[in-house]
């Protein structure tokens, strides 16, 4: 009987950890999306100073996100997002509006793809 209780406790700890990690991943995803949206708006309004300030914030958010996502997620997807965000930051410095708007859209899509693969569902389990 003791083994059953230990197994159940172990399962509950794993389940709780998974739920907490999913909630944290979801929060980081939303922070990334909001930051990219603010950059998009600033660039459309030709407010390059605001875009530059927001790119600094984006880099801080990405540092936290990368540190938590890299150990637990597919490295290829995280690396692709990292490359895209690097291009976003550089395109802000170069003030290349059209290329930047495209890259922001790509980064938002990559982040969504990563988050969607982590949603608890039967499809993701099997």
Please give the pLDDT value at position 73: 83
Query: pLDDT tens across 67-97, in order?
Result: 988 888 888 999 999 999 999 999 999 999 9
pLDDT at position 122, please?
61
Establish if 9 belongs to a structural domain. no
pLDDT band for position 56 (50/70/90)?
very high
Between residues 2 and 36, the one the model is more confident about: 36
Give domain status of residue 82, yes or no: yes
Residue 120 maps to a domain: yes
C-alpha distances in angstroms, 9 versus 14, 16, 22, 42, 109? 9, 10, 20, 50, 38
Q: What is the overall mean pLDDT for the chain?
A: 90
- Has residue 68 been placed in a domain? yes
Residues in contact with 34: Cβ distance below 8 Å, sequence separation at least 6, in sequence order: none
Residue 55 belongs to domain spanning: 24-125
**Does a structural domain hold residue 5?**
no
Q: Which of 89, 115, 93, 114 is closest to 104 using CA atoms?
A: 89
Over 80: is that where the pLDDT of 27 sits? yes
Number of domains, the chain: 1
Residue 13 lies in a domain: no
- CATH code, domain with 71: 1.20.120
Q: Which two tokens stand for residue 87?
A: 């291009």
| 18 domain residue, yes or no | no
Cβ within 8 Å of residue 89, ≥6 positions away: 55, 58, 59
User: Is residue 6 situated within a structural domain?
Assistant: no
Going by pLDDT thresholds of 50, 70 and 90, the confidence category of residue 121 is: low
Phi, psi of 85 (to 5 degrees): -65, -35
In this predicted structure, the answer to whether residue 24 has a pLDDT above a threshold of 70 is yes
Q: How open is the CA angle 125-26-57, to the nearest 5 degrees?
A: 140
Q: Which stretches within 1-126 are classed as H helix? A: 2-44, 48-69, 75-94, 97-118, 122-125
Higher local confidence (pLDDT), 8 or 122:
8
């Amino acid at each position: 009987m003791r083994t059953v209780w230990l197994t159940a406790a172990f399962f509950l700890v794993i389940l709780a950890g998974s739920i907490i990690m999913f909630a944290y991943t979801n929060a980081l995803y939303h922070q990334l999306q909001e930051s990219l949206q603010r950059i998009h708006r600033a660039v459309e309004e030709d407010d390059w100073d605001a875009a530059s300030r927001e790119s600094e914030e984006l880099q801080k958010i990405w540092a936290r996100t990368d540190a938590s996502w890299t150990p637990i997620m597919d490295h290829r997807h995280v690396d692709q997002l990292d490359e895209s965000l690097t291009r976003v930051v550089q395109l802000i410095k170069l003030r290349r509006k059209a290329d930047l708007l495209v890259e922001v859209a790509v980064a938002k899509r990559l982040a969504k793809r990563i988050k969607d693969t982590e949603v608890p569902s039967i499809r993701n389990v099997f």
